[in-house]
């Protein structure tokens, strides 16, 4: 999966939660060249990554020594489905590192809502980040172990 495909995937799973009928079909439709099996396998990998994070198998990065930054939250192609839950004033900008408190809240949200419920983790725990940013944090955090 390319970085761009991963971004599309993260955006799509944030839009279609686990209660969405035909969720994986809808996610695959938004990612050119990917099948339903491809997106299911990618989601399982993401779940495994988050599980390792929850289990403490991945150390918390030194935020001051090497800031953990996120890419742009550009939602190209997904504006039709996107519901804006935050005002522009509240949205985070490109390259803003996650704080230790945001990461701690992220882990608490994972404990309560489980893997994949980025929307509720964003709404109820990491209020300063969008569901896409929360999903991206989980995936990128594991990759940077």
Domains and CATH numbers, the chain: 3-55 (1.10.10.60), 100-143 (1.10.10)
pLDDT the model gives residue 59: 67
Which residue bears the tokens 């995937």?
A: 9
Write the CA distances from 52 to 79, 93, 95, integer angstroms.
Answer: 32, 28, 25
In sequence order, which residues have a C-beta less than 8 Å from that of residue 126 and are 6 or more positions away? 102, 105, 106, 109, 134
In sequence order, which residues have a C-beta less than 8 Å from that of residue 102 and are 6 or more positions away? 126, 128, 129
What digits encode the pLDDT tens for the residues 87-106? Answer: 454 554 567 788 988 998 99
Check pLDDT > 70 for residue 71: no
- For the chain, the 3-state helix, strand and coil shares in percent, each to the nearest 5, are 50, 0, 50
pLDDT the model gives residue 132: 87
Rounded CA-CA distance 134/52 in Å is: 16
Highest mean pLDDT among 58-67, 72-81, 86-95, 103-112: 103-112
> Pick the residue with more confidence: 3 or 71?
3
What digits encode the pLDDT tens for the residues 17-63? Answer: 888 899 999 999 999 999 999 999 999 888 888 777 777 777 666 55
Contact 92, 128 (CB under 8 A): yes
Rounded CA-CA distance 80/46 in Å is: 25
Inter-axis angle of helices 36-54 and 3-15, nearest 10: 90
Which residue bears the tokens 């289990």?
A: 55
- Could you write out the DSSP letters of every residue in 28-47? HHTSTT--HHHHHHHHHHHH
Check pLDDT > 50 for residue 78: no
Least confident stretch, 1-15, 17-31, 63-77, 122-136: 63-77
């Amino acid at each position: 999966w390319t970085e761009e495909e991963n971004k599309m995937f993260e955006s799509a799973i944030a839009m279609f939660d686990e209660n969405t009928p035909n969720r994986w079909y809808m996610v695959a439709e938004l990612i050119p060249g990917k099948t339903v099996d491809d997106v299911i396998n990618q989601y399982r990998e993401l779940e495994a990554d988050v599980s390792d994070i929850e289990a403490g198998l991945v150390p918390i990065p030194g935020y001051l020594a090497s800031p953990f930054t996120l890419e742009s939250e550009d939602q190209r192609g997904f504006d039709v489905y996107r519901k804006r839950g935050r005002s522009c004033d509240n949205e985070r900008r490109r390259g803003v590192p996650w704080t230790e408190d945001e990461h701690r809240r992220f882990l608490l949200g994972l404990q309560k809502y489980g893997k994949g419920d980025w929307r509720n983790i964003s709404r109820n725990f990491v209020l300063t980040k969008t569901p896409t940013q929360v999903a991206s944090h989980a995936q990128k955090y594991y990759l940077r172990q």
